[in-house]
Structures are given as C-alpha cells and as structure tokens.
Structure 1
Amino acid sequence: FLGGEIIHSFALALLIGVVIGTYSSIYVASSMILALGISKEDLLPSEKEEKEMDARP
C-alpha cells in the first residue's frame, strides 16, 4: 500500500506530515486573515485591474 516493506515507515511519516501540515496551514491562515481584518472583497481583483488585463494583447 505505501511502497513496500522497506519504506513503509518513511511513507507513513510523510503522509502524516502532509496531513498535519495541510491542516495547520488552513487553520493558521484563516485565523491570521480574521486577525488582520481582511474581507472577501479585499481578496477579489478590482474592476479597474480586470479592465487593464482585458486591454492587454
């Protein structure tokens, strides 16, 4: 399942690290966004930027 008997422990540790790292990144980033007071509108591009991008060749 995880690559054979020789690297089973390494693959398991790597899998656990990826899961914990992803979980940590999501919850740390979301709490930082709340603490900084960033809203959904701040993350969306403005209409001016969209028009400039459309005008580019």
Structure 2
Amino acid sequence: MTARIKSLDESFYPIFMRSDLSAQKLFALTASLLHDTLFFDFVYELVREKMILGSDVVS
C-alpha cells in the first residue's frame, strides 16, 4: 500500500483526502497502475480490446 501511495505525486494527497469515495477508488486504481506494470498491461489490454469492439461490459 505504501509503495502505491508513494508512486503518486504529493500534490494528489490533499485532493485525495477531500474527494468522495468514488474518486478515491480511481486514485487508488491509478496508483496501482503506476506501481505494478503487469497489472497495467493487463488492464490496458482488457480496456483496449473492449474499446476496439465497442463493448462497455467487462466480463
């Protein structure tokens, strides 16, 4: 958890603290993507495929 937080710029901390739960989840996802390249590649391929196919459902 600490490594993911440290992967974000310090300017995100106050924004994160003032954000609602949905925005905090997006920040956490962004931090995970920045920290873990394997997870980034997986999400990138999954989202890319869905965008090419025009699907908005992940199954």
TM-score (norm 1): 0.34
The structure whose RCO (Cα within 8 Å, separation 6+) is larger is 2
Report which of the two structures shows the higher radius of gyration computed on alpha carbons: 1
